[in-house]
Chains A and B, each alone.
Chain A
Amino acid sequence: MPRETQRETLFTRRAALLAGGQALLGAALVGRLYQLQVLDKDRYSLLSDENRINVRLLAPPRGRIFDRFGTVLADNGRNYRVVVVPEQTGDLNATLSALGTLIEITDADRRRVLRDARHKHSFVPLVVRSNLTWDEMARIEVAVPELAGVAIEQGMIREYPYGMTAAHVVGYVAAPSEKDLTGDPLLELPDFRIGKSGIEKSQDALLRGTAGTSEIEVNAYGRVVREIAHQPGQPGQDVVLGLDMAMQDFVMRRCAAEPSIACVLLDAVTGDVLALVSSPSFDPMLFSAGLTPAVWQQLSTDPRNPLTDKAIAGVYPPGSTFKPVVALAALEGGAITPDTPITCPGYLKLGDAIFHCWKKGGHGTLHLHDAIKESCDVFFYETARRTGIDRIAAMAHRFGFGAVLGLDIPGERSGLIPTRDWKLATTGTSWQPGETLIAGIGQGAVVATPLQIATMAARLVTSRAIVPHLVRGDRLPPGGDPRPPEFAVLDIAQRNLALVVAGMDAVVNDRHGTAYAARIKDPALAMGGKSGTSQVRRITQYEREHGLRKVKDIPWKDRDHALFVAFAPVASPRYVCATIVEHGGTSGGGGSEVAAPICRDVLIEVQRRDPARQVPQPASVARAGPPAMPPQAPTIASHG
């Protein structure tokens, strides 16, 4: 059958061609596989991992803040919030309504949840409300079995057990603002908070810790399948302060009656800040939970500046509390000796100007010791005139005035000690001799912070360049610090220092001293000190001629500030306290009448507790709960 054979031959030939074609196509498949699985393997592996692996940041727990005895000032509390998982609810609307019968859910919350439910995968938990109270939680917990898809989740919130008592020192945390963002993804976590003021801010790097990571595998819909790797991260370090919370609390209560006041209590030897009070204060929890515009408005417009730490950022003319500095400048410069007699007729004439003493009839002739004791203005006008502003300024700087002391919380202000150069540079006019006289009684351009005034006293009584600080290395060991910090010795004759300190002793303990009424009667606890009453506005010639107005007739904002700086015990000073009562407080009195009694009470209490040397029994350290403020305390409403 040649025809059949011919057909078979043709078929075989074409079958061979077909096989060849198929072989080519098969080779193309092999080539493609090689390209994808060998040549481009790395690229596709990467894409595959990117597909399935999400890296989540784990926020490290923030370090806690303790006082010198281990009292917790800032802690991490639990913030309970109620969440719904839409896919488990069946009917989200009905679930929200049911939840609304248990706790208050605003329309805004409801709209937000419903909107999020539309945009997110249905297995993503949505927060309905945060910061649940125990009561609200209990109500939800009981109902959870009937509320499918509802759960209570736990987040972290910064807690300040003492609330406003140490708010300025400890500070507060808040969500990072736009300018805080450094590109660190940790800052972008929704619940993350950073320090915004006080220790929380200055020690933020230490307290923050480092983020951990959790690598999780997700499927194509974003649902978490499993955790692949977990790196816990580094919790923030705890910070111990030199503060004694019991003293801070005591001072706060003692100051509570005054409308606006600042008080500093230092360990004069170590420089530890034992209490740093600025009243009125604010509730730091308001910031960590998120501030409402109304509360912010109220806090920021209050004339008493609750948000400002007046102990370090309030600047006031130091008034007569500045006189020890002037005295030492004069003694060291040889402008006067302890025995130089100066006569006070009640005023001093310089050219055409008349400078008055606070005592209308004058003090008569007196020496330095009595001039300090009785705070004679004319004596110090004359002493300042003889010493010159530049030597006064130099001495003031050695005592910590005119520059920030470098306290380890932000916000400290430098105050001002005027000099000839400063005057020329800022006003373009030359220094007038009369300005030296005014500076001699701590008025005029001279301004200082309460912390600077307290530091001055600490340097006076220790003759060392004490620098105040809040952060300690560790808690106080029993018996006090074995090796207190060594501050440089001031290059001032011991004899001169002793003379000034003796004068300050007499201010309080001499029958004729200005603050004799505020003395500590127990000789073992006796304090020395210096009062000051600084003018807020000039006394007019009219007032001099027609008599001063009564205090209660002057508007509060125009009244004089009352200051007192004190140290105790007088025999071997360890504690220093400086108090400034803005505008003389409720009574409108001077430094010795209003501020001195506060210093007295604080120094009695601090010597009784002796926090520089004694570790109290645990029971005596108030641990739990914010202390109740006295009813008349100038509290800032924390709710709306």
Chain B
Amino acid sequence: MASFAPDIGHHELTFADKVRGLQWALMLLVALIAGIGFAMLYSAANGSLHPWASRQMTRFAIALVAMVAAALIDIRYWFRSAYWIYGIALLLIVAVDVHGRAGLGAQRWISIGTFQLQPSEIMKIALVLALARYFHGLSAENAGRIRYLIVPALLILAPTALVLKQPDLGTAMMLLAAGAILFFLGGVRLWVFGVGALAAAATAPLAWSMLRDYQKTRLYTFLQPDRDPLGAGYHILQSKIALGSGGLWGKGFLLGTQSHLSFLPEKQTDFIFTMIAEEFGLVGSATLLALYVLVIFYAFAIALRSRSQFGRLLGLGIAVNFFLYAFINMAMVMGLIPVVGVPLPLVSYGGTAMVTVMLGFGLLMNTGIHRDVRIGPLGESRLG
């Protein structure tokens, strides 16, 4: 694979080299998915750009710039900053926690002007960066040694616990899953996962006690969605009705009755996939699913071509994050997993998730552009 790539490992990349290395096909896919999102937000507002579609477009434009910038910055800079970024993200989460306790019950964001920043979203990328850097410096033998796993385990558990306390079950799940997968890719022995699973099972009662009542209700509801069709089970039941009634071809653009008559909750955010499935049927929902598969496939291809462990882990970490976003959201609206409040990446209305996902793609492209850059243990260049 590497033999087809231009041999640029021996000298610094020029700006033009980097721009040439941008993954235009990936950007096209991302724009396509975002475009579907704009259309659905237009429909969710009963055929109006206001209030969602136009703002989402602006965010996408900003996020696109952020993405390209993230792609063009030298990978060694990201490597060196990985722990700093992680540290800042963690501090922000703590800040939100402290601030939230002082104020309202469940605040998850920091307001910067009109922009609301969710530190837990930043953490999704920061964790991948930090773990990628950690495992980059870990030899295969040491990866098999349990004492070298204590630090990365803490890297995962600290934000997970804080986010779970917020309480944001979906993000906590995503952090835990992404961390575990990076452990897996980093070469951690398989028995460790067995032990980890047992430990998780042992602490489950503790986790259960940390859940808020509404989260427990959501879990009950998931287990028995028809128990209370007008109460807690209402959302998921209405979501399934919308999906099912879409049929093969859907009810047509702007013609979804479940969404337009407000039977569908949160149609512009977490349940936007349901709206797509209602208006465009199985054909529409499967098409979107295929686009996601293509993006993930692309991400795998880019990550696997990287010659540094950091690049590989970062690339696949981003891919895994994106997969988790999409899977958890879709499985949730289809009633396969409990309602946890994870947006559909690139499509759901919302700024932080859009920026986070796009920044992630920036980093992914970064690993593609810098695939031949050798990175030393401290982020220095290691030529030849």
Contacts and interface: CB of A to CB of B under 8 A. Distances in A.
A47 interface: yes
Contacts of A40: 244
B185 A22 contact: no
A29 B261 contact: no
B241 A48 contact: yes
A33 B187 contact: no
A3 interface: yes
Given A3-B139, A26-B289, A44 B330 contact: no
A30 B289 contact: yes
B78 interface: no
A25 B316 CA distance: 17
A11 interface: yes
Interface stretch (A216-224, A420-428, A602-610): A216-224
Interface string A18-38: 110010011011101110111
A7 interface: yes
B293 interface: yes
Contacts of A43: 244
Interface in B277-311: 277, 281-282, 285-286, 289, 293, 296, 300, 303-304, 309
A19 to B, nearest CB: 6
B365 interface: no
A14 interface: yes
B245 interface: yes
B185 A29 contact: no
A34 B181 contact: no
Contacts, number: 126
A48 B247 contact: no
B187 A220 contact: no
A220 B245 contact: no
A220 B244 contact: no
Contact of B261 (A26, A47, A218): A218
A571 interface: no
B276 to A, nearest CB: 11
A15 B263 contact: no
Interface string B239-276: 01111111110000000011001110000000000000
B257 A52 contact: yes
B185 A33 contact: no
Contact of B240 (A3, A44, A52): A44
Given A10-B140, A12-B304, A37 B312 contact: no
Contact of B316 (A18, A33, A48): A18
Contacts of A22: 296, 323, 327
A620 interface: no
A38 B285 CA distance: 12
A542 B168 CA distance: 108
Contact of A18 (B282, B320, B330): B320
A45 B244 contact: yes
A6 interface: yes
Nearest to B316: A15
B151 interface: no
Interface size class of B (residues with CB under 8 A): 35 or more
Given A7-B140, A47-B245, A38 B184 contact: no
A557 interface: no
B243 A37 contact: yes
Contacts of A26: 289, 293, 327
B336 A33 contact: no
Contact of A36 (B312, B313, B320, B334): B334
B336 A28 contact: yes
Nearest to B323: A22
A383 to B, nearest CB: 84
A47 B261 CA distance: 14
A4 to B, nearest CB: 8
Contacts of B336: 28-29, 32
A52 B263 contact: yes
B331 interface: yes
Contacts of B316: 15, 18
Contacts of A8: 309, 312
B248 A29 contact: no
27 contacts: A6-B140, A7-B309, A10-B140, A11-B187, A11-B313, A15-B185, A15-B303, A18-B185, A18-B316, A18-B320, A25-B327, A28-B336, A32-B331, A33-B243, A34-B282, A36-B334, A37-B285, A40-B244, A44-B240, A44-B244, A45-B244, A45-B247, A47-B244, A48-B241, A48-B242, A48-B258, A51-B257
Q: What 5 pairs between A and B have smallest CB-CB spacing?
A: A44-B244, A48-B245, A219-B261, A37-B282, A220-B262
Given A11-B313, A37-B282, 5 more contacts: A22-B323, A37-B248, A48-B257, A52-B257, A225-B261
